[in-house]
């Protein structure tokens, strides 16, 4: 089966983490004997082969090349609103995307199209699907739900895409519910998360002592890890407030913050005001080739997501579980799809610094419990939430869609 994939985030060079979950799914589909073609907008940072197990097709939409500024995690301001340049460049991206995918799909004839993000790719895929009769699946991973509701034009485009899709997937009920008012048929949804590779990320503490030394973390300190973009929906400011709670003030706990984003400076100022700066390590972006060292350094992962804006399950939750680490998360943003409260981690109310502090204190004080939860999380990845299992779920859907599409063709 030939699967055509549309995305505006895809790793551009070794270590790039833009769209790594899309790449991981595509490579697993290819490993399971599917032909996969990926269409993505060009970016000047591309330094990777375009042909391999997955065929990558890039389309240009602006001249000179330096004007290729959309996608690759640059389009949104704090994941709340589009940057102004996005409004200027989006018409060109939509136009060129439709032209390219339509032209090449006529020639290459994929059996199904799989668009990641409702906009822009769901709309591009919907136009091609309507014109060529190719079944369409749309996955909604996060900020696209916010964009799709931001103005009348985008709402109309999203409605068209949702009506055209034979399959809709989301990695949280929050995202499913966020697009329901746009006319999404809830019977077409399947809650399929973006997973992790249990072979690539596994327990291995061989480099932890050296990394701990480099980050100047005392040997007896408990490490709470946060991984993600520094934007409001991640809720990392709640963790900073939790460190200032009386329960944790005297505890040897250090939070390691991996990622960059629009709110990083604001959160660093918050840490200064609360007097917890010395208990935080801001390490910025970490290449995916090195991120496993940070998961294995950690004693636990904190994912204190908030419900506004809606978000999907963060891949870091699965990555940490794959490295046998317990996860403390909130009951939003897809966390309950992975975290089993009391078994693989703890669920705490969102925006509740005191509750988060209590959960961190509990795990910090009980290393045996951390080990038990970590082992249970690793087992869940191996048995259910790793890419091999998730890809098979997609393939089953795609085969059904392709068969139905052939039956309906004249």
For residues 135 and 214, membership in a common domain is answered with no
Q: Give the residue-averaged pLDDT of 146-155.
A: 80
Q: Are 328 and 360 in contact (CB under 8 A)?
A: yes
Residue 81: the pLDDT is 47
Residue 203 lies in a domain: no
For residues 134 and 191, membership in a common domain is answered with yes
Residue 80: the pLDDT is 44
Asked whether residue 17 carries a pLDDT value surpassing 90, the answer given is no
Q: 385-400 pLDDT, tens per residue?
A: 999 999 999 999 999 9
Percent of the chain with pLDDT over 90: 79
Residue 261 lies in a domain: yes
Residue 82: the pLDDT is 54
Asked whether residue 125 carries a pLDDT value surpassing 70, the answer given is yes
Q: Give the residue-averaged pLDDT of 309-332.
A: 93
Residue 34 lies in a domain: yes
Q: Give the residue-averaged pLDDT of 293-315.
A: 92
User: Cα separations (Å) of 396 from 56, 82, 134, 330, 393?
Assistant: 23, 35, 16, 31, 5
Asked whether residue 407 carries a pLDDT value surpassing 90, the answer given is no
Q: Give the residue-averaged pLDDT of 261-266.
A: 94
Residue 145: the pLDDT is 72
Whole-number Å distance between alpha carbons of 195 and 182:
27
Asked whether residue 196 carries a pLDDT value surpassing 90, the answer given is yes
Residue with tokens 């002592």: 209
Residue 232 lies in a domain: yes
Whole-number Å distance between alpha carbons of 187 and 196:
27
Residue 200 lies in a domain: no
For residues 149 and 288, membership in a common domain is answered with no
Within 13 Å and on the Cβ side, how many CA atoms surround 234?
28
Residue 224: the pLDDT is 98
The per-residue pLDDT of the chain, averaged, comes to: 92
Q: Are 234 and 316 in contact (CB under 8 A)?
A: no
Q: Are 203 and 364 in contact (CB under 8 A)?
A: no
Strand 327-329 relative to strand 2-6, pairing: unpaired
Asked whether residue 296 carries a pLDDT value surpassing 60, the answer given is yes
Sheet holding 54-59, edge to edge: 54-59, 35-41, 2-6, 112-116, 136-140, 167-170, 189-191
For residues 178 and 227, membership in a common domain is answered with no
For residues 213 and 231, membership in a common domain is answered with yes
Q: 374-388 pLDDT, tens per residue?
A: 999 999 999 999 999
Q: 214-250 pLDDT, tens per residue?
A: 999 998 899 999 999 999 989 999 999 999 999 998 8
For residues 132 and 223, membership in a common domain is answered with no
Residue 266 lies in a domain: yes
Q: Are 5 and 39 in contact (CB under 8 A)?
A: yes
For residues 271 and 330, membership in a common domain is answered with yes
Residue 288: the pLDDT is 82
For residues 91 and 113, membership in a common domain is answered with yes
Residue 201 lies in a domain: no
Q: Give the residue-averaged pLDDT of 113-130.
A: 97
For residues 334 and 394, membership in a common domain is answered with no
Whole-number Å distance between alpha carbons of 232 and 261:
10
Residue 84: the pLDDT is 65
Alpha helices in 262-384, H assignment, sequence order: 264-274, 291-297, 315-322, 353-365, 367-380
The total of structural domains in the chain comes to 2
Residue 113: the pLDDT is 98
Partners of 59 in the beta sheet?
41
For residues 381 and 393, membership in a common domain is answered with no
Confidence of residue 141 (pLDDT cuts 50, 70, 90): confident
Sheet holding 280-284, edge to edge: 280-284, 253-258, 222-227, 300-303, 327-329, 345-347
Residue with tokens 């080739």: 289
- In CATH, what number is assigned to the domain containing residue 30? 3.40.50.2000
Confidence of residue 78 (pLDDT cuts 50, 70, 90): very low
- pTM score, two decimals? 0.88
For residues 190 and 94, membership in a common domain is answered with yes
Percent of the chain with pLDDT over 70: 96
Buried b (16+ CB within 10 A) or exposed e, 215-252: eebeeeebbbbbbbbbbbbbbbbbbbbbbbbeebeebe
Residue 310: the pLDDT is 77
For residues 404 and 362, membership in a common domain is answered with no
State the residue range of the domain holding 27.
2-195+387-408
Q: Which of 183, 71, 181 is nearest to 116 (CA)?
A: 71
């Amino acid at each position: 089966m030939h699967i055509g994939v549309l995305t505006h985030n895809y790793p551009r060079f070794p270590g790039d983490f833009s769209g790594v979950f899309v790449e991981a799914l595509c490579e697993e589909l290819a490993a399971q004997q599917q032909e996969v073609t990926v269409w993505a907008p060009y970016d000047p940072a591309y330094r990777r082969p375009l042909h391999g197990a997955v065929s990558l097709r890039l389309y240009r939409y602006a001249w000179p090349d330096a004007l290729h500024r959309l996608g690759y995690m640059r389009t949104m301001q704090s994941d709340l609103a589009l940057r102004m340049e996005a409004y200027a460049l989006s018409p060109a991206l939509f136009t060129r995307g439709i032209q390219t995918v339509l032209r090449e799909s006529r020639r290459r004839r994929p059996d199904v199209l799989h668009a990641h993000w409702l906009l822009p790719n769901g709309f591009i895929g919907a136009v091609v699907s309507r014109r060529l009769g190719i079944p369409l699946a749309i996955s909604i991973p996060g900020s696209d739900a916010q964009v799709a509701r931001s103005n009348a034009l985008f709402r109309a485009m999203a409605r068209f895409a949702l009506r055209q899709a034979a399959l809709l997937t989301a990695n949280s009920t929050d995202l499913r519910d966020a697009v329901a008012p746009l006319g999404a048929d809830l019977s077409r949804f399947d809650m399929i998360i973006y997973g992790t590779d249990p072979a690539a990320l596994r327990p291995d503490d061989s480099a932890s002592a050296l990394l701990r030394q480099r980050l100047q973390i005392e040997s007896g300190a408990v490490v709470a890890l946060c991984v993600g973009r520094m934007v409001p929906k991640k809720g990392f400011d709640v963790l900073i407030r939790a460190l200032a709670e009386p329960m944790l003030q005297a505890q040897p706990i250090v939070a390691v913050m991996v990622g960059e984003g629009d709110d990083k400076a604001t959160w660093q100022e918050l840490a200064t005001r609360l007097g917890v700066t010395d208990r935080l390590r801001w390490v910025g972006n970490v290449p995916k080739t090195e991120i496993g060292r940070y998961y294995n350094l950690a004693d636990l992962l904190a994912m204190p997501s908030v419900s506004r804006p809606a978000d999907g399950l963060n891949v870091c939750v699965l990555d940490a579980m794959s490295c046998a680490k317990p996860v403390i998360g909130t009951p939003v943003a897809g966390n309950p799809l992975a975290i089993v409260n009391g078994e693989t981690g703890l669920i705490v109310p969102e925006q509740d610094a005191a509750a988060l502090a209590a959960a961190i204190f509990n795990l910090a004080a009980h290393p045996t419990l951390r080990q038990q939860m970590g082992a249970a999380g690793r087992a869940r990845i191996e048995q259910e939430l790793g890419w091999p299992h998730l890809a098979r779920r997609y393939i089953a859907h795609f085969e059904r869609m392709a068969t139905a599409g052939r039956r309906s063709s004249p």
